[in-house]
Amino acid sequence: MQTAHKKPNRLSTSTSPYLLQHAYNPVDWYPWGDEALKKAADEDKLILLSIGYSACHWCHVMERECFENEVLARYMNEHFVCIKVDREERPDIDQLYLDAASAMGSATGWPLNMFLLPNHQPIYGGTYFTPEQWQSVLEQLQTQFKNQRNKLDDIGQRVTQYLNVPEVLKYKLETREVELNYNQLNRLVALFSKKFDEKNGGFGSAPKFPMPVAYLFLLRYYKLTLNTELLNFITFSLDSMARGGIYDQVGGGFSRYSTDNEWFEPHFEKMLYDNAQLVSVYSEAYSLTKDPLYKEVVYDTIAFVKREMFSREGGFYSAIDADSEGVEGKYYVFSASEIDEIIGSKDAALCKKFFGIEEKGNWKEGFTGNILFRTQSEEDFAEQNGIKYDIFVKKISTWKGKLLKARKQFVKPGIDDKIITSWNALMIKGLCDAYMAFGEEEFLTLALRNATFLEKRLAYNVAVFHTYKNKQASIPGFMDDYACLIQAYIALFQVTHHKHWLFRAENMTHYVMGSFFTRKDSLFAYRDSGTEPLIATKKEIFDNVMPASNSVMAQNLHFLSYYLNNDHFKKVSRKMLTSILPLFLTEPRYVTNWATLFTYNVLETTEVTVVGSNALEVTKAIQAHYFPNKVVTAVIAADDSEQLKGKQPPEGKTAVYVCRKKTCMPPVFSVEEAIDAIDYQVSNERKRKEAELNEQPNN
């Protein structure tokens, strides 16, 4: 976004697409680093720290209105040291100052504009400002800095002290060993259910975010309880999102959130991390329900990611902008006349009816574009309109193909082509989950190609870089990079049974235990202890649109404890989980990935080992069955398994051993028998736990 101001600033050499968007602003922007921070200290100037990301609509608006304004820029350059940060490149800085803004009672979100003292301590912050508001804020803060320095120093010190309060004190985390039982989990779900939107699906009110980790937990809780009412809510929510405008009905893939309660109007930016996790959600939901809608969503979303977010080198890009030609959503909508022309007179009316197309447009007033969405299932629509179901499905496929071809002629929104380790790792996990659900070899091939790319370009021995762009890896990895990559390695081992991936997970886990873990509270810091200091160090414990790095790592330790026969890992994982239990009652919506780990602990994880020449094929069939609380290993010979030494099956047969608490049932020799054995063990364990709970009336 360039103005008449053509002289580049210091951002012009950046690799960040977001920073490059600001490279021709008249503002004398600096990237975060020693040069800018030293200038603020030497010249005793306030720091303006402006944080955003390339796909952010309101970041673009504020840039046009404020940062391209020559008058405002001159004032900023004279009185402030202006620093731009890409929140996706530096999530550590973003998280820190988001917390600061929240602590001061300011609005949080992006763009995030924070004002700091020369020593980096925060004194004021906010999100989007109009030009008039921005000028007023700049002038007021500069006047206060000049005339009321002591007051600002006091604010900075108090906020910084708050940021440095350990999480164990700030959130009153549990420090004792605590027994885990159903009752704690049931209480969490009871509290969380108060946020269920029974009318529209999802959680809370607009803006509505998909929150994938919440659905992954609820699916597991359903598997524990067999609560059909809960399953109905889960499937209703997933159906509503898949049929709504938040899902791209033409090209596949989900937008970041819906601006309304009904999932109709998306905020059109598309993020890799959302789509990666939603592939996992819909794959698991399909394994449980066999609903063809969920298969369609998974296949189309993976096709979208491969088509529009996959680099030639094998990495996945970060995001696609909401705007094209300066208009939010323009790339994704169609007018009624365009539908007529693209689909043809024979089917246009039916297509418009199915996708909710209106002649005047169904979105913004005075705008003829339509967001495509569905109000019915394909089966119901076909029946109501007198069309055979199989014929109608073929029609939809043809329509989508024509519309996608026509869309390719539109001006595309910008793409953020940096590659982030943690987000790519989530995509590997999603592809592995899709492979387990559908057995589609292309999904595994894509996951392996991405993993190989990460190993070559971003993961060196046990150390990881956070981002990759222009053939260069940069920024030391954060805890979510390590946690998500270890999770991806475990997922790859689960589907390939190649020990390379298990060794990678084990070695990287030992590294993070030494570089990020603090024994005092049994949590992992977000930043490596050897990296540049900030005014505070965060430990990420709350699950949100992405799971917290600590909850991911706690799950990793749990599963690795089984694969590696490492009791220490299991003890650490359980200690991490029990420390979070107080948040089950105060923040149930934001500990759902922790709650998933709880489900793995409240009923002992089932160990399944498949032995024999046909082990891989049998394992693949078992994994298509929905039961997430299991570890599955395929070996050719029993002696390859520590647990099964000397238990070689009869010659020519493939045996399945179902084990729990290091005790194995007699082997079975078919997939059906194996699934029955797993379900039998789980059913018995569930009944035993429920009986224990009933015997404790005070719980």
| Residue range(s) in the chain whose domain bears CATH number 3.40.30.10 | 10-164
pLDDT tens-digit series, residues 538-577: 999 999 999 999 999 999 999 999 999 999 999 999 999 9
- What DSSP line would sit under 15-75, residue for residue? S-HHHHHTTTSSS--EESSHHHHHHHHHHT-EEEEEEE-TT-HHHHHHIIIIIT-HHHHHH
Contact 136, 195 (CB under 8 A): no
Distance from C-alpha of 502 to C-alpha of 186, rounded to nearest angstrom: 34
Distance from C-alpha of 471 to C-alpha of 361, rounded to nearest angstrom: 44
What is the structure's pLDDT at 636?
75
What is the structure's pLDDT at 97?
96
Residue 384 clears pLDDT 80, i.e. is over it: yes
Contact 283, 438 (CB under 8 A): yes
Q: Is residue 699 very low, low, confident or very high in pLDDT (cuts 50, 70, 90)?
A: very low
What is the structure's pLDDT at 639?
57
Q: Give the Å distances, CA to CA, from 197 to 203, 282, 304, 639.
A: 5, 19, 29, 52
What is the structure's pLDDT at 3?
46
Within 10 A of 375 (CB to CB), how many other CB atoms are there?
Answer: 12
pLDDT tens-digit series, residues 476-522: 999 999 999 999 999 999 999 999 999 999 999 999 999 999 988 99
Q: Is residue 2 very low, low, confident or very high in pLDDT (cuts 50, 70, 90)?
A: very low
Amino acid at 383: E
- Give percent of the chain with pLDDT exceeding 90: 83
Of 168, 141, 166, nearest to 155 by C-alpha is 141
> Which parts of 36-191 are beta strand (E)?
46-52, 80-86, 112-116, 122-126
Residue 417 clears pLDDT 70, i.e. is over it: yes
Distance from C-alpha of 578 to C-alpha of 178, rounded to nearest angstrom: 6
pLDDT tens-digit series, residues 240-298: 999 999 999 999 999 999 999 999 999 999 999 999 999 999 999 999 999 999 999 99
pLDDT tens-digit series, residues 90-142: 999 999 999 999 999 988 889 999 999 999 999 999 999 999 999 999 999 99
Distance from C-alpha of 483 to C-alpha of 465, rounded to nearest angstrom: 13
Given the DSSP bridges, would you call strands 517-518 and 472-476 parallel, antiparallel or unpaired? unpaired
Of 692, 523, 551, 562, nearest to 217 by C-alpha is 551
Query: For 606-694, which CATH class?
Result: alpha beta
User: Encoding tokens for residue 432?
Assistant: 């592995």
Mean pLDDT (the chain) is 93
Distance from C-alpha of 68 to C-alpha of 210, rounded to nearest angstrom: 34
Q: DSSP state, 659?
A: E
Q: Give the Å distances, CA to CA, from 315 to 306, 423, 449, 482, 618.
A: 10, 10, 8, 17, 31
Q: Report the Cα–Cα distance between both ends of the chain, in Å, rounded.
A: 60
What is the structure's pLDDT at 273?
98
DSSP H helices in 408-440? 421-438
Distance from C-alpha of 557 to C-alpha of 662, rounded to nearest angstrom: 18
Within 10 A of 207 (CB to CB), how many other CB atoms are there?
Answer: 14
Q: What is the dihedral of CA 517, 522, 524, 528, to 10 degrees?
A: -30
User: Encoding tokens for residue 62?
Assistant: 């504020």
Q: Which CATH superfamily is domain 10-164 in?
A: Glutaredoxin (3.40.30.10)
Residue 310 clears pLDDT 50, i.e. is over it: yes
Contact 267, 322 (CB under 8 A): yes
User: Encoding tokens for residue 108?
Assistant: 């949080």
pLDDT tens-digit series, residues 521-534: 999 999 987 778 89
Beta bridge partners of 81: 47
| Residue range(s) in the chain whose domain bears CATH number 1.50.10.10 | 199-317+419-571
Residue 1 clears pLDDT 50, i.e. is over it: no
What is the structure's pLDDT at 191?
96
Q: Tell me which of 328 and 45 has the higher pLDDT.
A: 45
Contact 49, 102 (CB under 8 A): no
Distance from C-alpha of 270 to C-alpha of 251, rounded to nearest angstrom: 12
Question: Which residues have CB under 8 Å from 637's CB, separation 6+?
Answer: 611, 648
What is the structure's pLDDT at 682?
78
Distance from C-alpha of 681 to C-alpha of 456, rounded to nearest angstrom: 42
Distance from C-alpha of 199 to C-alpha of 343, rounded to nearest angstrom: 33
Please say whether the dihedral angle defined by the alpha carbons of residues 196, 198, 201 and 207, taken in this order, is positive or negative: negative
Distance from C-alpha of 601 to C-alpha of 182, rounded to nearest angstrom: 10
Question: Which residues have CB under 8 Å from 414's CB, separation 6+?
Answer: 17, 54, 55, 320, 321, 323, 324
Cα 228–Cα 552–Cα 597 angle in degrees, nearest 5: 40
CATH assignment of 199-317+419-571, among 3.40.50.150, 1.50.10.10, 1.20.1050.10, 3.40.50.200: 1.50.10.10
24: three-class secondary structure by DSSP: coil
Cα 72–Cα 75–Cα 80 angle in degrees, nearest 5: 120
Q: DSSP state, 476?
A: E
Residue 17 clears pLDDT 60, i.e. is over it: yes
Mean pLDDT of 291-315: 97
37-69 burial, b at 16+ Cβ within 10 Å, e below that, comes to beebeeeebbbbbbbbbbbbbbbbbbbebbbbb
What is the structure's pLDDT at 6?
72
What is the structure's pLDDT at 697?
53
Contact 490, 505 (CB under 8 A): yes
Distance from C-alpha of 429 to C-alpha of 302, rounded to nearest angstrom: 12
Question: Which residues have CB under 8 Å from 361's CB, separation 6+?
Answer: 333, 335, 336, 367, 368, 369, 370
Distance from C-alpha of 253 to C-alpha of 244, rounded to nearest angstrom: 12
